[in-house]
């Protein structure tokens, strides 16, 4: 018997010895008794009373019963060019060309049919349907399927890439229509529903709340004031309706923020007020016009707010004003900070472009600004966004009157009239060299044009050196520079004079 079996045997023997000793010496140890009685029958009670919720939670079924039939599934087929593998790395004249050619796939790029899925919703009984532009853009064939499984070929009435909105038309009558709401009344925390076909699962309903409004996205069009939600949407939801608790469409589901390709808690929808502005123009075959102010704006950082003598770093900092633009005619100047637009607050730079872009050209609005820390109100008549903007480089300078500004550690020279015209500016000095110092730390580089420093315009190297000599040390100083077609503000902190 091995060690393990001995130990196991001891656990059995010791209880038997205890029982024997109890019987001999009367230790009062009683042995357990076994009962062979039948088990009691299962007493199962089924609750047949009317079902009532024990807690109050949202019930979304009335909304889906009201609006569900207005949601459609959209499939579009497009032709895309597909590469057929790697190309021969050697030219035909090379002796290696023929050798590698035998390993190449036959033929060049080929055309391939690609099918995309999306969603949409009906807005009129005679077959007008709204969806996202990226669902149908470039499509050769579009099919719309209703909830009753009837399928119709759809005609693309028009689309706007800038607003990612498209209008379709199918040949049908007496269709149910989705009620259109007012996205301007949305508030953070309100319940919302999304209906669509994520990953092809038709008529899927998901729910969530408004996370933020008037949200701008990086690398996206600046004229869309997105609704941010935590409503789960995925590929295939695009173009479907975002519904409020009254069963009204308040947006169209457009995109998600993800690193995996699936939903991660951040969903973005285009407000229905923006969508319908585009839809009306498309239905009437009119050009979509965008409001135009004629300024370049940037964010107000904490250092910039201190340099501009602001109580707090809020608003949109005007970096440049285009000549003869609505902003110029109204008296807006570089260095002004826009804090209200049409009586609505502007807390950050991303809020202003959608406000302006969605304003009907010709509308007169009030713009609240801070100039040198003092509040002012300007009246601006919004113009129409030009179709094409001229891109101008900094140009060259034939002047040899260069100079050095020791406190900035830069080398500069005058700006020629031709270069100033190409850039669309009237004054400034061209940076031709930057050493290790305050200018480099502020991001100023050769090729840029310094227009203002300390909110004073610069016309010549001598003037810049004179202004810099009188500026305080150790304090943030605003500097306006021109980099190609873009003007922006940066902050420099100067060392003591003579150091």
Q: What does each of the 499 residues of the chain score in pLDDT, given as a tens digit?
A: 344 333 333 344 455 444 444 444 444 545 555 556 677 777 777 777 777 777 777 889 999 999 999 999 999 887 765 555 556 665 565 555 555 565 555 555 566 677 889 999 999 999 999 999 999 988 889 999 999 999 999 999 999 988 999 999 999 999 999 999 999 999 999 999 999 999 889 899 999 999 999 888 765 567 889 999 999 999 899 999 999 999 999 999 998 887 777 778 899 999 999 999 999 999 998 888 889 999 888 888 888 888 888 888 899 999 888 888 999 999 999 899 999 999 999 998 888 988 998 898 999 999 999 998 899 999 999 998 886 543 333 333 333 455 678 888 888 888 877 777 777 788 888 888 787 788 888 888 888 899 999 888 888 888 888 888 888 888 888 999 988 878 889 888 888 876 5
Query: Which residues, other chains included, contact 343 with Cβ-Cβ below 8 Å and sequence gap of 6+?
Result: 366
Beta bridge partners of 10: none
How far, in Å, CA of 116 to CA of 97, rounded?
39
Residue 152, SS3 per DSSP: strand
How far, in Å, CA of 61 to CA of 412, rounded?
70
By CB atoms closer than 10 A (0-12, 13-18, 19+), residue 460 is middle
**335 among annotated binding-site residues:** no
**Domains 183-283 and 403-493 belong to one CATH topology:** no
Nearest residue to 213 via CA among 351, 317, 120:
351
CB 495 within 8 A of CB 439: no
H or E stretch including 490?
strand 486-493
**422 among annotated binding-site residues:** no
Q: What is the pTM of this model?
A: 0.67
Beta bridge partners of 113: 79
CB 455 within 8 A of CB 402: no
In our burial notation (b when 16+ CB lie closer than 10 A, e otherwise), range 276-303 reads bbbbebbeeeeeebbbbbbbbbbebeeb
Number of H helices, E strands in the chain: 11, 28
- Give me the architecture of the 183-283 domain, per CATH: Beta Barrel (2.40)
In our burial notation (b when 16+ CB lie closer than 10 A, e otherwise), range 375-395 reads eeebebebbebeeeeeebebb
Domain boundaries, the chain: 183-283, 291-384, 403-493
Hey, which residues are catalytic here?
134, 164, 238
How far, in Å, CA of 277 to CA of 66, rounded?
25
- Give me the architecture of the 291-384 domain, per CATH: Roll (2.30)
Reported as half-sphere exposure (CB side, CA atoms, 13 A), residue 481 has a value of 21
How far, in Å, CA of 423 to CA of 486, rounded?
9
DSSP code of residue 184: G
**280 among annotated binding-site residues:** no
How far, in Å, CA of 286 to CA of 372, rounded?
43
Nearest residue to 488 via CA among 442, 422, 429:
442
Provide the CATH topology of domain 403-493: Pdz3 Domain (2.30.42)
Residue 459 pLDDT: 86
Residue 213 pLDDT: 92
How far, in Å, CA of 221 to CA of 350, rounded?
11
**262 among annotated binding-site residues:** no
How far, in Å, CA of 184 to CA of 250, rounded?
9
How far, in Å, CA of 438 to CA of 303, rounded?
14
Nearest residue to 269 via CA among 294, 240, 292:
240
What are the CA-CA distances from residue 83 to residues 76, 79, 108, 109, 116 (Å)? 22, 13, 7, 5, 19
Residue entry with tokens 């909110």: 455
Query: Which residues, other chains included, contact 296 with Cβ-Cβ below 8 Å and sequence gap of 6+?
Result: 318, 319, 320, 486, 487, 488
Nearest residue to 313 via CA among 246, 257, 370, 243:
370
Q: Which two tokens stand for residue 242?
A: 């975002």
How far, in Å, CA of 172 to CA of 153, rounded?
10
DSSP code of residue 86: P
How far, in Å, CA of 256 to CA of 73, rounded?
19
**259 among annotated binding-site residues:** no
What is the CB neighbour count within 10 angstroms for residue 50?
Answer: 5
Query: Which residues, other chains included, contact 330 with Cβ-Cβ below 8 Å and sequence gap of 6+?
Result: 367, 378, 379, 380, 381
How far, in Å, CA of 299 to CA of 276, rounded?
30
CB 76 within 8 A of CB 145: no
Task: Please state the length of the chain.
Answer: 499
By CB atoms closer than 10 A (0-12, 13-18, 19+), residue 317 is buried
How far, in Å, CA of 222 to CA of 64, rounded?
33
Residue 44 pLDDT: 75
Question: In terms of DSSP bridges, do strands 429-434 and 449-453 run parallel, antiparallel, or are they unpaired?
Answer: antiparallel
Distance of CA 499 to the CA centre of its chain: 46
What are the CA-CA distances from residue 434 to residues 407, 409, 430, 439, 487 (Å)? 12, 6, 11, 7, 19
Q: Which two tokens stand for residue 372?
A: 């040198």
């Amino acid at each position: 018997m091995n060690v393990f079996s001995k130990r196991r045997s001891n656990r059995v023997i010791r209880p038997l010895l205890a029982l024997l000793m109890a019987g001999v010496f009367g230790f009062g140890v009683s042995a357990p008794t076994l009962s062979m009685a039948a088990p009691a029958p299962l007493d199962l009670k089924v609750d047949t009373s009317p079902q009532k919720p024990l807690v109050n939670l949202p019930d979304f079924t009335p909304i889906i019963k009201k609006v569900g039939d207005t949601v459609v599934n959209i499939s579009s087929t497009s032709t895309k060019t597909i590469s057929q593998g790697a190309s021969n790395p050697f030219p035909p004249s090379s002796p290696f060309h023929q050798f590698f050619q035998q390993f190449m796939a036959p033929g060049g790029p080929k055309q391939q049919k690609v099918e995309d899925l999306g969603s949409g919703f009906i807005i009129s009984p005679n077959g007008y349907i709204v969806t996202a532009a990226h669902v149908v853009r470039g499509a050769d064939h579009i099919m719309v399927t209703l909830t009753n499984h009837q399928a119709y070929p759809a005609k693309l009435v028009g689309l706007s890439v800038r607003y990612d909105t498209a209008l379709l038309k199918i040949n049908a009558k007496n269709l149910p229509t989705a009620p259109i709401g007012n996205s301007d009344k949305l508030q953070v925390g309100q319940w919302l529903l999304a209906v669509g076909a994520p990953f092809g699962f038709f008529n899927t309903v998901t729910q969530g709340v408004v996370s933020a409004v008037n949200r701008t996205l990086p690398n996206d069009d600046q004229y869309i004031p997105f609704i941010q939600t935590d409503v789960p949407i995925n590929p295939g939801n695009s173009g479907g309706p975002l519904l409020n608790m009254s069963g009204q469409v308040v947006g169209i589901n457009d995109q998600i923020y993800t690193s995996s390709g699936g939903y991660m808690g951040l969903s973005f929808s285009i407000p229905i007020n923006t969508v319908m502005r585009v839809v009306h123009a498309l239905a009437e075959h009119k050009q979509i016009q965008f409001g135009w102010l004629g300024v370049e704006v940037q964010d107000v950082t904490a250092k910039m707010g201190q340099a501009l003598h602001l109580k707090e770093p809020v608003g949109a900092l005007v970096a440049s004003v285009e000549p003869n633009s609505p902003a110029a005619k109204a008296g807006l100047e570089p260095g002004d900070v826009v804090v209200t637009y049409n009586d609505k607050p502007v807390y950050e730079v991303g809020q202003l472009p959608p406000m302006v872009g969605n304003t009907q050209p010709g509308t007169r609005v009030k713009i609240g600004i801070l100039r040198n820390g003092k509040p002012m109100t300007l009246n601006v008549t919004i113009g129409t966004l030009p179709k094409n903007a001229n891109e101008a480089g900094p140009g060259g300078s034939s002047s040899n009157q260069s100079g050095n500004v020791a406190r900035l550690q830069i080398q500069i020279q005058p700006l020629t009239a031709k270069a100033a015209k190409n850039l669309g500016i009237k004054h400034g000095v061209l940076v031709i060299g930057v050493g290790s110092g305050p200018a480099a730390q502020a991001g100023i580089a050769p090729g840029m044009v310094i227009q203002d420093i300390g909110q004073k315009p610069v016309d010549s190297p001598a003037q810049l050196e004179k202004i810099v000599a009188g500026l305080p040390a150790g304090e943030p100083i605003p500097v306006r520079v021109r980099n190609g077609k873009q003007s922006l503000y940066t902050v420099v902190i100067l060392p003591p004079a003579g150091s």
